[in-house]
Each structure stands twice: as C-alpha cells, then as structure tokens.
Amino acid sequence: MSRVYDTIEPAVIDDVMLTMAIKEQGPKNQAGKIADQEGIEYKDVLALRLDFRNILQIENLWSFSNLVRLALDNNIIERIDGLETLVHLVWLDLSFNNIETIDGLNSLTKLQDLTLCSNRITKIENLDALEELQVLSLGCNFLSELNNLVYLRQFKNLQSINLSQNPFCQKEDYKAFTIAYLPNLVYLDFRMIDPESRAAAKEKYFMDLGQLEEEEVIVQRKKSEEKKQVEALELHTLAYVEHLDGNALYLEMYDEDSDGKKLNKLPSMEEDILPVFEEKFSDVCMKIFEYGMEAAEVRNSEVDTFFTCVEDAKSANRAKSADAVEQFTNYKMDVFAKISSTKEQAYVDSLLTKFNEERQNLWDTLMTLELQLVDQLEDTIKEFERNLAELVSGFLEKIQARFVQLRDLENTHSEKLLEISINMLEKILKSEVDADQITDDLRELFVDKDSVTNAVSASHDRHLYVIDAREDRIVSRINGWMTNLIDQIHAKEEIERNRNRVVEINHLCDNLREEMDSMDMAAV
C-alpha cells in the first residue's frame, strides 16, 4: 500500500534539495539562464515538487510563503507537520507515504485539493479548517468505519472523493451510504454519481438522514450563536469594555476573595445587602459598557473618515498628475511629428526650445502637486490627531468618572459589611447567636475585633484592586491604540511614497529629455 524504504537513508529537506528542485522545475532555455544568474527567491515560487526523494520529515519550507501547489508524494513521511506557514496552498499531494494520522493542516484554509492516497490512515479527522475543500483522495488507506464518512458532511464544497481500496469498500452498502450521507458529491471513486444511484441511496437512508439533519440544525444553530458571541466579544474588546455588560466584574472581585465569600454568608447579607450591591454595581458597569460601545463607534467613524480623506486626496492628486502627463504626451507627439516632417533647422531649434520649456513646466506642475499633497496630508493628519486626542480624552474622563462610582459603591458596601460584622461579633461574644445561624468557617473569623476588621479590610482591598486594575487596563489599552495609530500614520511608508514619487517625476522628465535628444539627432 504505502511506499516503505528500509535500507535507504532518509533525506533532509535542505537548501541543496530545494535549490535543485527549483532549478529542475523552473524556466528553461534563455529564461532559465536569466533565472540562474539572478536567482529565484523562495517566496516567489508558486509550485514545488519534492516527490520521490525519500523524505521522512517535512521541514524548512517556511520561506515558500506564497506556494500554491506542493507535491510531497512517494516519500516516507510519517507525520504531517511543517506546513503552518504555507497559508496560500490550494493543492497538496501527500500520497504514497507512511502517514497514520491526519493532522497539521489547520492553517491551510485555502486548500481545495488534498491527496492522501496510499498511507496508513485509519480515521478521517482534523480537517475542520479546510472549508474550501473540493477534492479529497483517501484511497488505499485503512479506513474501516463507514460512519466516519459522516464527518465529511460539513464540507459543502466537497464534490469529488476517492475512497477506493479501503476496508469499508468491501461492505455491501458502501456506495449507497457514501452517496446518501454526502449529498453534494458529484464524483465518487473517479466516477460521476448518476441520478438513479443518488435517488436510491436517499430513499434507503431516508429515516436516518432525517434524524441526522434535525441534529445538524440544532448543532448549526448552536455554532451560529457561539459565532455571534465571539464576534460580539471581539467588538466589545475593541471598545475596551468586554465583559462589562453584566455582573462579570462583580464576580471577579470575589474570585480570590476567600474572606469576602465567608462574610457574604452572614445573616441578612445574602438576602438584603448583597443583591442590592450587585445590582447597583452591575448597573454602573452596564453604563460603562453602553458608553464604551457608543464612543467606539464615534472613534471608528473618525478613523474611517480620516483614511477616506487621505485616499481621496491621493486619488485627486493622481488624477491631476495624470491629466498633466496626458496633455504633455499629446503635445510631445505633435512636436515629434513636426520635427519629423521638416528640414528647417531653425524651426527644429525653436520646437526644441519650446519643448524643453514645456518639459520644465511639467516638472514644476508635478512637483507642485506632490508638495501640495504633502502639505494637505500634513494638515489632515494634524487635525485628525487633535480630534482623536479629544475623543480619547473625553472617553477616559467619562469612563473614569464611572469607575469612581464603582469605588464609592464598594466603599459603602464595605462600611455596611464592617458594621454588620461587628454587630455579629458582639452577639457571638454574648452567645446571642444560635449555632445554626453561622457556619463553622465563618465563626473562625469572629475571634475578636481585629480578626473581623482585617477580614473586611482584606476583602475591600481585593475589590478595589480588581476595580483599579480594570480601569488601568482600559486607560493603557486605548492610549496604546492611539499611539500605535498615530505611529502608523507617520510611518515610513508615507515618507517612502513621497521619495518614490519625486524619483518617478525626475525619471519621467529625464526620459522625455532623452527622447527629444534622440529625436534631434535623427533630424540632424
């Protein structure tokens, strides 16, 4: 079934092997000579064959970041790994190896054609990320459970599958089961599925499919809901108010607050004090959340408007430059035509003088447009920075005011808790509390006034720490976002764009001068 080499030393995928493969499969003749002289960057390679090379382990392919097709068939590969960076792969052949488990493909989300024929695979699994999969070849493996094929129902684009020469192919209902449970298939084992076979298979498994489809609907709804929750959390996180639309921050205060949890079991705490505290605390958190989402929308709108203005300015500038170049090109063609049709040197000289003046005017126009764009972008950036700073400052001012409210609520609650605790201590010392009114772990705190005070203080400190930490995270994250965004705007890309544009303008005008010099020489 699989190719096994017992006596040959396994080969290593190294630069020598890769260079040889690229040279063998690269351009030939003159194009090949040029490629040899200039060299071929790994990142420029789109297809690579490493078949029949006795490779045991997939490695050293990370530089082929734009690879689309990869053949690793007819080797002795035992594990699928080392492919994480090949995110552009569309076609992958791993047939005729010693692979036992399907794995290591999670990053290949663009993969459409996967061949794993003639390996030692016993289970179809770990393909969930390959949502674009269209062709799957698993023939000549050790697949024995027909029910394993149900896993492939999730691949809605899967049209062709080869499962021939697997153990389950010997089962009488193999073909009908496969066709029924994979309704989107067009080809099975290299043969087109005819309408009669499809209808018969669907009828045979009608009841089972009905139940399965109902279960899939439930699962799909659950996945959709989970996806919505993940997407919502991403939006909340970008607004810096994740998990503030409920009681998560309140619960977090008690996560590592063992004393607070014990004190919460005091009579009247669970029934009266705690519910009110939680409600008021969560209400302020919700206000922080709602304002945070509104503020994020305003910031995003400001950012979108800025980048739109920048792109509009660049587009308008490019259009004006293109018009100037087009007008000059038309003028140039007219001048060249006149020079070609005259023998009078004085007339040619006058045309040349005028041409050089117009060429200089074109240079002045293009450079002026570029300087205008630079000034315009600089003014736009400065205004954007001011607006952004005001938005962030306003956001923090309101958010921090809400956190002051949270601390006030905690301070008030802690004072009430201390008062209740001291009263309870007095009752305990006077033996006015029945044994069933207080738990043993709570009774341990009520040894004396210092013990009670320390427990309440420790709980209070923990709560304030959680509140302060969350406020600090919001402040640091939004300030970091603003700093990174401003740095991005002032990044080297814009400086490089300006430099390249100046070079481009000079190069254009130099070419125009050389063209005219050639034309002048021809006229002479």
Q: How far apart are CA 34 and CA 1, in angstroms?
A: 42
pLDDT of amino acid 221? 93
Q: How far apart are CA 487 and CA 480, in angstroms?
A: 10
Q: Which amino acid is at 436?
A: D
Place of tokens 């409210």: 405
pLDDT of amino acid 132? 96
- Do residues 137 and 115 lie in contact, with contact meaning Cβ atoms separated by under 8 Å? yes
Place of tokens 């969350």: 470
- Do residues 86 and 108 lie in contact, with contact meaning Cβ atoms separated by under 8 Å? yes
- Do residues 78 and 98 lie in contact, with contact meaning Cβ atoms separated by under 8 Å? yes
Q: Compute CA distances 178 → 102, 149, 206, 419, whole Å.
A: 20, 7, 13, 72
CATH 3.40.50.2300 fits 15-204, yes or no: no
pLDDT of amino acid 4? 45
| Torsion 325-330-333-339 (CA) sign | negative
Q: Kindly report the backbone phi and psi dihedral angles of residue 476, in degrees, each rounded to the nearest multiple of 5, phi listed first.
A: -65, -40
Q: Please, where in the chain does CATH 3.80.10.10 lie?
A: 15-204
pTM tops 0.85, yes or no: no
pLDDT of amino acid 448? 87
- Do residues 511 and 363 lie in contact, with contact meaning Cβ atoms separated by under 8 Å? no
Q: How far apart are CA 228 and CA 49, in angstroms?
A: 41
Three-class DSSP category at 22 = helix
- Do residues 239 and 295 lie in contact, with contact meaning Cβ atoms separated by under 8 Å? yes
Q: How far apart are CA 438 and CA 440, in angstroms?
A: 7
Extract the residue ranges of the chain whose pLDDT is less than 50.
1-6, 30-32, 34-35, 524
* Residue 472 in tokens: 């600090």
